[in-house]
Structure 1
Amino acid sequence: MNTVIETILSHRSVRDFEDKPLSKEQIETIVLSAQAASTSSYIQAYSIIGVTDPEKKQKLAQLAGNQKYVAQNGHFFVFCADLHRHELISEMEETDLNESLESTEKFMVMLIDAALAAQNAAIAAESLGLGICYIGGIRNNLPEVCKILKTPNRVIPLFGMAVGYPKKLNDKKPRLPLAHIYHENEYEQDSSIIKQQLVEYNETISTYYKERTQGERQDTWTKQMANMLSQPRRMYMYEFIKQHKLNTK
């Protein structure tokens, strides 16, 4: 096993950072690493906004559900799906690109491009000895986030990433077993096998929580998912995306 794989397999979210900003060199290294990710047809349909203004960080922390580590970290990145520059390309090249820019396909491309770039950034940061935490909570109120970040049309902030020097490292959360995630040649057709794998995973997760909390928590993964998914969230998103002239076709 090499050091890259060791870094990837050692990932855990960090939510408590030292009061120490990242250097300019560290920030540039992380962003350049993000840019080195694969991008569909060279479209590069994403942008990254680094938030250093304490007031803006505090506002974003509040919008994300009062998560203090959005404001208290070494650097806060916001990864955006971005087809605004391609709208400008339409003007520059005097070519109508609206049908493509508003298509579901290009909407998927911008999401995938941003996610690939972000994961490269995460691995780069962790390889530098830093910790990271993805922040999906900024999607709680994207209209306000867009105002804070002054994002133009066809730019959607997708998630934040808090990066910094870890004060504390939690234990790794056990992932689903490989046999449950990896299917060979075709998707597993026997639902009873899938359910049995979930039962076994529940036992692993229950043990993990029990040991981590000295017995105060013993819930299972399937129960967590059922509770979470039974309460739909951010249901404004469909209309919000349409207002930005994305995913309309």
Structure 2
Amino acid sequence: MNTTIETILNHRSIRKFEDKPLSNEQIRTMVESAQAASTSSFIQAYSIIGVKDKDKKKRLAELAGNQSYVENSGHFFIFCADLHRHAVIGEKEQTDVTMSLESTEKFIVATIDAALAAQNASIAAESMGLGICYIGGLRNKIEEVTELLEMPKYTIPLFGLAVGYPAQQTDIKPRLPFHHIYHEEVYNQDLGSYSEQLDGYNQTISDYYQARTSGKRTDTWTGQMANMLKQPKRLGMKEYLENQGLTKR
């Protein structure tokens, strides 16, 4: 096993950072690493907004659900699906690209591009001894975030990435079993083995929480997911996307 794989497998979310900003060199290294990620048809349909200003980070923390580690991070990155530059390209090249930009397919492409870029940036950060935490909570108040960041049409802030020097280390959460994630040739629809794998994973997660909390918490993964999914969230997202000029087709 090489050091790159060790860095990847050692990932954990960090939610407490030292009061120390990232250097400009670290920020640039992360962004350049993000740019090295694969991109569909070379479209590069994403942008990254970095936030250093303490007041703006505080406001973003509030909008994300009062997540203090947004405010207290060494640097806060926001990864955006971005087809605005392609609208500019259409005007520059005197070509009507509207139907493509407003298609669900291109929104998927932009979202994947941004996610790939973010994961490259995260691995780069962790390889430098930094900690990271993804922040999907920005979508709780996505209209306010859009306004705060002065984002144009054909863009949306997908998620944030809080980065900094870890002030504490957390345990690595056990992931789903290998054979539950990895299917060969076809999707495994054997409900018996599928359910058995989930039962085994539930026990693993329950043991993890029990050890971590000295027996105060023993919940299962399927229980967590069922409780989360029974309460639909962010149901206004479709309307928001259409207002931004996306997913109209």
Into which bin does the TM-score normalised by the smaller protein fall? Answer: over 0.9
- Offset of 1:104 from its aligned partner? 1.1
| Distance across 2 between alignment mates of 1:130 and 1:169 | 11
- Please name the residue that 1:44 is paired with: 44
Structure 1 residue 78 corresponds to structure 2 residue 74: no
| Distance across 1 between alignment mates of 2:159 and 2:190 | 35
| Distance across 2 between alignment mates of 1:218 and 1:138 | 29
- Please name the residue that 2:243 is paired with: 243
- Please name the residue that 1:158 is paired with: 158
Matches within 5 A, 1:82-97: 82-97=82-97
TM-score by structure 1 length? 0.99
TM-score by structure 2 length? 0.99
- Offset of 1:248 from its aligned partner? 1.0
- Offset of 1:192 from its aligned partner? 1.3
Q: Return the letter of the residue paired with 1:9.
A: L
- Please name the residue that 1:215 is paired with: 215
How well do the aligned residues superpose, as a CA RMSD in angstroms?
A: 0.5
Secondary structure of the residue that 2:157 maps to in structure 1?
Answer: strand
Q: Return the letter of the residue paired with 2:149.
A: L
Q: Return the letter of the residue paired with 1:62.
A: E
**Deviating 4+ runs (over 3 angstroms):** none
- Please name the residue that 2:186 is paired with: 186
- Please name the residue that 2:228 is paired with: 228
Kindly provide the CA deviation profile for residues 153-181 of structure 1, in whole angstroms up to 9, marking residues without a partner as x.
11100000000000101000000010100
| Distance across 2 between alignment mates of 1:46 and 1:162 | 18
| Distance across 2 between alignment mates of 1:54 and 1:126 | 23
- Please name the residue that 1:6 is paired with: 6
- Offset of 1:128 from its aligned partner? 0.3
Matches within 5 A, 1:97-108: 97-108=97-108
- Offset of 1:189 from its aligned partner? 2.0
Secondary structure of the residue that 1:78 maps to in structure 2?
Answer: strand
| Distance across 1 between alignment mates of 2:145 and 2:244 | 14
| Distance across 2 between alignment mates of 1:245 and 1:149 | 17
- Please name the residue that 1:122 is paired with: 122
| Distance across 1 between alignment mates of 2:136 and 2:199 | 28
Structure 1 residue 35 corresponds to structure 2 residue 4: no
- Offset of 1:239 from its aligned partner? 0.3
Q: Percent identity?
A: 65
- Offset of 1:80 from its aligned partner? 0.2
Q: Return the letter of the residue paired with 2:79.
A: F
Kindly provide the CA deviation profile for residues 121-143 of structure 1, in whole angstroms up to 9, marking residues without a partner as x.
00000000000000000000111
- Please name the residue that 1:59 is paired with: 59
Q: Return the letter of the residue paired with 2:91.
A: E
Q: What are the ranges of 5 or more consecutive residues in structure 1 without an aligned counterpart?
A: none
| Distance across 1 between alignment mates of 2:104 and 2:81 | 13
Tell me how many residue pairs correspond in the alignment.
249
| Distance across 2 between alignment mates of 1:105 and 1:193 | 34
Q: Return the letter of the residue paired with 1:137.
A: G
